[in-house]
């Protein structure tokens, strides 16, 4: 029996039996090999580039999508390359896929230490219930599950110290770079073009959850192979899709109208129910969801920013493929989400990539000359979100594009081989418009004039790295006094840590989600389409 090999990867060196009908991407996913499949394998992003070292005779011909990319000889897209014959071994090399630049920290505010699990007279208690003998330490994990990245703090619950922070690329990226791809993976058989049965959906959900749990277990063991028995609590934050995958809750409802999650309330599970290798007497707590795609991460952001305590009206913005906006104060909070798409994360942008090594992250144009810096000071391989915001702002300032976002010469070169074109600009201004329309409509509904917003909290990894002045210039965030814009870093992780350290904060977030008004602006704003169109301009 002939085999397919991925020599760059430990788990691909031994090969895998060839089965005609599968794509190279199918094999990469089976072997848990890291590959950039942002669009989930439908050929749209053009980034799962591979080189066929041997075995081309086994494969289908170039598809129409591949031909459009003008790939060099022997290069293919993994999602489009299907094995149609089994006559020889296949050797595949995957184009380098770097590690994401991951935001590991929130504000790390001082929090009252009143944990769920505590030391009393040589024993470990959960509230007033004795659960275990003291083993020399009581620890917990604050876990932020992002669509592309995972970060968790290992926290000493006796004194509040963070003894370790672990940050990794989310291994589910094999199944697509956005939540829609993950949802579709659990719903649809793309080859047979049919919806999966309930049992098949459950199996796919378990597959996505298992690779996440395995990573967490492995990283805990690498950090300290004796600590797992001293970990008693895990607090989980993440968007609606990621949190529900973690707790093995069906996510298919998030992929169809009215796009609402099942079981939005807080979740409490025993570690063995989820496969986590921590103390069996421990507990796993999932922060509740607000509704729709406004998840536990935004609840954690609200907790970390303390917008819910503010006297004056403030705004919280978390920018991403699905961007969220919250407006209000201690009297009232309103939240919405914007399907901004992945343009500012590099998706569907010819020069765009995620925040990985070699990504251009800062850009200046001075006297028509482009100056830039890259993540890790590596050779430039594309432009990530913060660089794309800088680029739009600098092009506007230097009249390379006009107020209607028209690029004068059809394309503009940043380096000798990295350029942006009019279609790229269209994708970026479409994303920008979705976010701007969200905060614009929220301010009208609240109601509050933008100039009267007291503070704007910017949450999340993407927001942490952007140039605020440039984001204001292109209309991504409201123009107010720049000193009133506060970056809170990884608010999702910070909120989870605060809940871990203070049991009372569970009650705070559970009460908050009952009071936050969740709206879908496209359903209540009569001029929604007009605003989307007009906000595409500068």
Q: Are 337 and 317 in contact (CB under 8 A)?
A: no
For residue 102, what pLDDT band results from cuts at 50, 70 and 90? low
Cβ atoms of residues 132 and 279 within 8 Å: yes
Binned at pLDDT 50, 70 and 90, residue 368 comes out as confident
The whole-angstrom distance between residue 189's C-alpha and the CA centroid of its chain comes to 24
Q: Which two tokens stand for residue 285?
A: 């707590």
Out of 65-69, 91-95, 523-527, least confident range: 91-95
Cis link prior to 447 (omega < 30° from 0)? yes
Contact, 176 vs 182, CB < 8 A?
yes
The H or E element spanning position 120 is strand 117-120
Q: What is the pLDDT of residue 117?
A: 97
Over pLDDT 90: what percentage of the chain? 71
Position 4 confidence tier, pLDDT thresholds 50, 70, 90:
very high
What is residue 248's predicted lDDT score, i.e. its pLDDT?
98
Q: How confident is the model at residue 231 (pLDDT cuts 50, 70, 90)?
A: very high
What CATH number belongs to 3-94?
3.10.20.30
In the predicted model, what is the mean pLDDT of the chain?
91
The CATH number of 298-341+428-534 is 3.30.420
Split at pLDDT 50, 70, 90, the class of 174 is confident
Q: Mention the CATH class of domain 117-297.
A: alpha beta
Model confidence at 283, pLDDT cuts 50, 70, 90, reads very high
The beta strand positions in 26-113, using DSSP E, are 49-54, 75-77, 90-94
The secondary structure of 190-234 as a DSSP string is: TTTTEEPPHHHHHHHHHHHHHHHHHHHHHHHHHH-TTSGGGEEEE
Are domains 117-297 and 298-341+428-534 of this chain identical in fold?
A: yes
Where along the chain do its domains lie?
A: 3-94, 117-297, 298-341+428-534, 343-422
Identify which of 68, 80, 142 has the alpha carbon closest to the alpha carbon of residue 499.
Answer: 142
Averaged pLDDT, 113-141: 96
Tokens of 392: 């739009």
pLDDT at residue 97 tops 70: no
* Three-state SS at 443: helix
Q: Average pLDDT for residues 112-131, to the nearest whole number?
A: 94
CA-to-CA separations, 146 to 209, 308, 429, 493, 533, in angstroms, rounded: 13, 23, 24, 10, 30
**Bond from prior residue into 43 cis (ω within 30 degrees of 0):** no
Distance (Å, whole) CA 171 – CA 168: 8
No. of H helices and E strands in the chain?
15, 27
In tens, the pLDDT along 375-400 reads 988 888 889 999 999 999 999 999 99
């Amino acid at each position: 029996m002939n085999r397919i090999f991925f020599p760059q990867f430990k788990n691909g060196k031994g090969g895998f039996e060839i089965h005609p009908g599968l794509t190279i991407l199918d094999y990469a996913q089976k072997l848990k090999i890291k590959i950039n499949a942002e669009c989930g394998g439908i050929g749209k992003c053009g980034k799962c580039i591979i080189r066929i070292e041997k075995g081309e005779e086994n494969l289908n011909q170039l598809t129409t999508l591949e031909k459009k990319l003008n790939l060099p000889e022997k290069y293919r897209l993994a999602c489009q390359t299907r094995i149609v014959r089994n006559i020889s071994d296949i050797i595949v090399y995957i184009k380098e896929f770097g590690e994401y630049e991951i935001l590991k920290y929130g504000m790390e505010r001082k929090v009252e230490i009143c944990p769920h699990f505590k030391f009393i007279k040589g024993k470990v208690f959960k509230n007033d219930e004795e659960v275990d003998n003291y083993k020399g330490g009581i620890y917990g994990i604050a876990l932020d599950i992002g669509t592309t990245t995972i970060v968790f703090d290992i926290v000493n619950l006796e004194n509040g110290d963070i003894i370790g922070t672990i940050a990794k690329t989310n291994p589910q990226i094999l199944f697509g770079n956005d939540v829609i791809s993950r949802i579709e993976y659990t719903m649809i058989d793309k080859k047979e073009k049919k919806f999966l049965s309930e049992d098949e959906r459950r199996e796919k959900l378990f597959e996505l959850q298992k690779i996440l749990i395995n990573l967490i277990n492995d990283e805990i063991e690498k950090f300290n192979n004796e600590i797992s028995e001293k970990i008693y609590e895990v607090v989980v934050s993440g968007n609606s899709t990621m949190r529900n995958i973690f707790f093995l809750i069906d996510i298919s409802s998030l992929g169809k109208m009215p796009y609402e999650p099942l079981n939005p309330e807080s979740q409490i599970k025993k570690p063995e129910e989820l496969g986590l290798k921590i103390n069996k007497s421990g507990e796993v707590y999932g922060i509740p969801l607000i509704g729709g795609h406004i998840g536990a991460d935004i609840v954690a952001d609200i907790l970390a920013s303390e917008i819910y305590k503010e006297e004056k009206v403030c705004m919280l913005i978390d920018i991403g493929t699905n961007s969220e906006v919250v407006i209000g104060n201690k009297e009232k909070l309103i939240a919405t989400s914007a399907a901004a798409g992945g343009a500012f994360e590099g998706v569907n942008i010819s020069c765009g990539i995620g925040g990985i090594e070699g990504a251009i992250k800062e850009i200046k144009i001075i006297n028509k000359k482009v100056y830039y810096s890259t993540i890790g000071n590596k050779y430039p391989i594309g432009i990530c979100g913060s660089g794309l915001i800088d680029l739009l702002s600098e092009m506007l300032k230097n009249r390379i594009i006009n107020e209607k976002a028209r690029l004068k010469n059809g394309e503009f070169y940043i380096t000798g081989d990295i350029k942006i074109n009019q279609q790229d600009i269209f994708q970026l201004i479409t994303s920008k418009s979705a976010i701007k329309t969200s905060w614009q409509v929220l301010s009208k509904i609240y109601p509050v004039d933008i100039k009267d917003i007291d503070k704007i909290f910017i949450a999340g990894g993407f927001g942490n790295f952007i140039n605020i002045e440039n984001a204001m210039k292109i209309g991504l965030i409201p123009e107010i006094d720049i000193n009133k814009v506060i970056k809170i870093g990884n608010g999702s992780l910070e909120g989870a840590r605060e809940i871990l350290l203070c049991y009372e904060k569970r009650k705070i977030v559970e009460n908050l989600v009952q009071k936050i008004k969740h709206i879908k602006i496209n359903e209540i704003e009569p001029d929604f389409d007009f605003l989307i169109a007009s906000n595409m301009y500068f």
